[in-house]
Amino acid sequence: MYKTILFSLLLMPLCLWSQNQKVTISGYIKDGATGEDLIGATALVTDLDGVGTTTNIYGFYSLTMPAGEHKVAFQYLGYQVKVLELNLSEDTQLDVELSPDSQVLAEVVVTAEKADQNITETRGSVTKIDVREIEAIPVLFGERDVMKVVQLNPGIKSAGEGNSGFYVRGGGLDQNLILLDEAPVYNPSHLLGFFSVFNSDALKDVTVYKGGMAAEYGGRTSSVMDIRMKDGNSKKFSGQGGIGLISSRLTLEGPIVQDKGSFIVSGRRTYADLFTGLSSDPGIQNTTLYFYDLNLKANYRLGEKDRLFLSGYFGRDKFGFSDDFGFDWGNATGTLRWNHLFSNKLFSNTSIIYSNYDYEFGFGQGDDEIALQSVIEDWNFKQDFTLFPNDKNTVKFGVNWIVHNLEPGNLRAGVNSGFTIEDAEEKLSHEAAIYVQNEQKISDRLTANYGLRYSFFDYRGAGTAYEFDEVGNLLSETRFEEGESIQTYSGFEPRLSATYLLNTTSSLKLGYNRNYQYIHLLSNATSSTPTDVWVPSSNNVEPQIADQVSLGYFRNFKDNMYETSVEIYYKDMQNVIDYRNGANIFLNEEIEGDLVYGDGRAYGAEFYIKKTQGRLTGWFSYTLSRTLRRFDEINGGEEFPARQDRIHDFAIVAMYDLSPKVKLSANFVFNTGDAVTFPSGRYTVDGVVTPYYTERNGYRMPNYHRLDLGLTWLRKKTEKFESSWNFSLYNAYGRENAFSIDFAPSEDDPQTTEAVQLALFKWVPSFTYNFKF
C-alpha cells in the first residue's frame, strides 16, 4: 500500500508553480442562442503550439499564456468558431458565446465535440452520448432513452430484452454509478426496467466512463454514467414536448432574469391506465398502472464569481388493483450547488446532494391491512476544486462525505392481519473520500491524468452484527449502540489515464483504475426489480474491489469523418457477491448468512467505427469479451461464466438524411446468448418434478438479434415553431428472442417435462409527435 502512495506522490509534478510573466484568461463558453454552458468546448491559442484547454462540466475554462498579442479560437462542433484577437497584459475574465452553425440543421446529427477530440482527449474508455442522437435512434415503444443508446456502444451490454439496465466490461448492474446532476439514482428504471427514468428532453450531457475514470469519481467498481441536466434557456422562454404511444412529455424553460439565471421544468407521464378502463377484461379494468418523471432545475448568477444551481428529480411508478393491492416506487433527488471563483485560476464547486429511493406496497384496508415501506436515503456533501496553475496542468482535488441510511422494512399491520412484525433494523453508514488528480501535458505528444482517491467506510450502530459459520448458520449476534462503529473499511484507489499522440490522426491511450464499492445490491431476480435490496459493507460483507487496465488505439480518417478505435481491457474483481441456494432476500435480517463471496475477471477487445459527417452517419461497434466468476461454494469451486458473459456483441446504428425533412434510421444488434443454468437430469421428490443441476451457467440462451427501423419527418419548421413525427418499428423482422426458457412438467401431461421459451416483443410499431417552440 505504501508503494502505491509513494508512486503517486512521485508522479506529482514539482514544477506546478514555476511559471512567470504570464497572463490568464478565464470565463464561460456558452451557446449564444440559449445561454446553456457548453461542456467540453475548446479554447485554443492559435499562435502558440499546443496551448489550449477545454471547459469543465460547468462550462468554465482557464487558459494561461505569455503576455502579449494572441489569437484565441473558441470552438465547439456544430457551432461557428469564434476567433478573438487579444492584447493581454493582465489577467482577464472573458465569457464567450458561440452561435449555432446555420449550416447545420438541428436534425442533422453532429458530434458535439471538437472534431478530433476522440484522438486528443486524455481519457480512453469513454462513451459520450450526443443527446441529439437519442431523438433519431428507434427504440421500444418510441420512448427515447439515453440508457438504451448507451447499450449500442462497445463494452456496454444490455441487461436484457427491452431493458434499460446495462453491464459495463463484465461488471454487475449495481456496479454502475449513475449520477443525475451528481446525485446517485438507485433504481434508474420504470416498469421493471423497460424504461429508464431519464427524460431525454431535460438532458444536456451524458458521459459513460468504462475505465480509467478520474479520481473525482468513486463508490462503484464498474463504471460511471454522469448525466447533466440542461440549465434552461437564459435568453428567451421556450419549450418542447411530445405525444407518444406510451407517454407524453412537456418541457418549459426560460430566463429568470435575462442572462443572469434560468430555469427548466420537464415532465413525462404514461397513460396506459387511461386505456385499462376501456378494456372488456375486468382484470385489466381494475388495474392502475402508470409512471411519471419530473425534472426541475434553476440557476442564478449572484455576481461575476458566484453561481447557484438547484436541481431536482422526482419520479414514481404506481401500480394497484382496486383497494385491495397497491404497489408504488420511485426516486427523488435534489442537488444544491454553488460555483465560486476564488481567482481566475481556482474554481470551486460545493454541492449538497440528497437522494432517495423507496418502495411501498400494501394489501387490504383497515384492520386487514398489511403494508411495507423500504427506503434508501443518502445525504451527500461534496467540495471540489479545480486549479489551473499554468498551461500544462489542471489539478482537481476535493472531499466527499455521504451518509447512507437504509431502512429495509417499515411495516404496518392491521389487528386482523395476524402479523406480529416490527420494523426491520435501520442500517446507517458513512462513506467518505478525499482525492487529488492532475491532468498534465507532459510533452506535445504525451498527456496524462493521474490521481489518487482515498475512500473510507464506516458501518455504524445502532445495529446488530451477525456472525455465521461456513454454511451460513447464525452463530452469534452482537448489539451495537448508536454512534458505535460496527465495521470500518478504507482503501487507496489509484487512477491513471494517458494519451500519446502518434501523429495528428492517431493516438495510443492507456488507462488504469482501482475502485472500491461499499454498498451492494441484492436482487432475487436477474433484472432490476422495485424490491431490490441494498446492503452496506459489514463484518461479513467486504467491499468489492476492481482493478482494470485498458489500452486503446484511436485513429481518424478522411479529415475526422471516420473515427475508429480498438481497445483491450482486463479487469480483476474481488469480493463479488452471490447467493446460497434458496437465499431469501426479502425482509431477512440475517441475509448476510445467505451470501457467498468470490472473485471474478473480465477481459475483452472493443472495436468501434463511427462516421460523423455526411448524409449517412452512424456507427458499428463490436465487443469480443469474457466475464468469469469463481466462488468456493458454487460449481465445486470451479470458475464459471457470469450471466452477462456474451462473447460476441455487436451493434450497427445508421442514420440517413433522405431529404432535409425526412431522416431514416436503423439499428441492428446481435449478441451471444446469456450464460444460463439448465438441468442435466430430473427426479421427483414429494411429488414435485425437480431439475437436477450439475454446473452453474453451463448452457447458453439462443443468440439474440434484432433490427429496429425509424423515420423522422420534419413537418414544419419556422423561427417560432417546429414539429415532427417519429415512426419506429421495434424488432422489424419479428425475431422471437428468448426472454426466458423454463423447464417444467408439461401442463397437458405432468409426467413429461418440456422446455418453454418466452419471447416478449415481436414487431412493436409506435409513433410520436414532437414539437418545439
Partner 1 sequence: MKNISLLVLLAPFLFACEQVIDVDLNESDPQVVIEARLEAGQHDFEVLISETTSYFSNETAVYRNDAQVRLLDNVGGMIEVPLESNGRYRTSVNAISGQTYTLEVSLNDKTYMASAEVPQEVVLDELEAEFREAFGPFDEGYQVFLRFADNGERRNYYRQIHAIDGVFELAGEDLQVTDDNLFDGSERARLPIFQRIFDPGVSITVVLQHIDKNSFDYLNSLADIIGEDGGPNGGSAAPGNPTTNWDGDILGYFGAIATDTLQIDLPE
Q: What angle do CA 723, 263, 133 make, to 5 degrees?
A: 45
Any contact of residue 760 with partner 1 (CB under 8 A)?
yes
Q: What angle do CA 660, 666, 669 make, to 5 degrees?
A: 160
Any contact of residue 736 with partner 1 (CB under 8 A)?
yes
Give the length of the chain: 773
Q: Tell which residue, 227, 90, 80, has the closest CA to residue 150.
A: 227
Any contact of residue 2 with partner 1 (CB under 8 A)?
no
Any contact of residue 692 with partner 1 (CB under 8 A)?
yes
Residues 156-175, interacting with partner 1 (CB under 8 A): 160-161
Any contact of residue 367 with partner 1 (CB under 8 A)?
no
CB of 369 to partner 1, least distance (A): 12
Where would I find the beta strands (DSSP E) of 346-484? Answer: 346-363, 370-390, 393-413, 427-441, 446-460, 463-468, 474-480
Which residue among 10, 278, 475, 688 contacts partner 1 (CB under 8 A)? Answer: 688
Any contact of residue 327 with partner 1 (CB under 8 A)?
yes
CB of 540 to partner 1, least distance (A): 17
Question: Toward partner 1, which CB reaches closer, 491 or 679?
Answer: 679
Any contact of residue 476 with partner 1 (CB under 8 A)?
no
CB of 760 to partner 1, least distance (A): 5
Any contact of residue 529 with partner 1 (CB under 8 A)?
yes
Q: Which helix (H) or strand (E) holds 64?
A: strand 60-66
Residues 238, 199: Cα–Cα separation, whole Å: 17
Residues 383-422, interacting with partner 1 (CB under 8 A): 416-421
Q: How many CA atoms lie within 13 A of 496 on its CB side?
A: 17
Question: Toward partner 1, which CB reaches closer, 106 or 759?
Answer: 759
Q: Tell which residue, 305, 301, 294, 363, has the closest CA to residue 330.
A: 294
Determine the 3-state secondary structure of 260 from DSSP: coil
Residues 22-81, interacting with partner 1 (CB under 8 A): none
CB of 732 to partner 1, least distance (A): 14
Any contact of residue 521 with partner 1 (CB under 8 A)?
no
Any contact of residue 365 with partner 1 (CB under 8 A)?
no
CB of 413 to partner 1, least distance (A): 9
Any contact of residue 325 with partner 1 (CB under 8 A)?
yes
CB 325 within 8 A of CB 370: no
Residues 596, 585: Cα–Cα separation, whole Å: 13
Instruction: Show the cell assigned to 172.
Output: 454487475
Per CB under 8 A, the segment of 71-79, 189-197, 261-269, 664-672 that binds partner 1 is: 189-197
Residues 531-590, interacting with partner 1 (CB under 8 A): 578-588
Classify residue 134 as left (phi > 0), alpha (psi -120 to 50) or beta: alpha
CB of 640 to partner 1, least distance (A): 11
How many residues of this chain bind partner 1 (CB under 8 A)? Answer: 90
Which residue among 448, 761, 766, 770 contacts partner 1 (CB under 8 A)? Answer: 761
Which residue among 496, 501, 535, 764 contacts partner 1 (CB under 8 A)? Answer: 764
CB of 621 to partner 1, least distance (A): 23
Residue 592 φ/ψ, nearest 5 degrees: -60, -25
Q: Tell which residue, 356, 352, 310, has the closest CA to residue 333.
A: 356
Any contact of residue 319 with partner 1 (CB under 8 A)?
yes
Which residue among 259, 484, 638, 754 contacts partner 1 (CB under 8 A)? Answer: 754
Any contact of residue 99 with partner 1 (CB under 8 A)?
no
Q: Residue with C-alpha cell 456502444?
A: 153
Residues 28, 44: Cα–Cα separation, whole Å: 14
187 CB neighbour count, 10 Å cutoff: 25
Residue 43, class by beta-carbon neighbours within 10 Å (0-12 exposed, 13-18 middle, 19+ buried)? buried
Question: Toward partner 1, which CB reaches closer, 259 or 323?
Answer: 323
Any contact of residue 491 with partner 1 (CB under 8 A)?
no
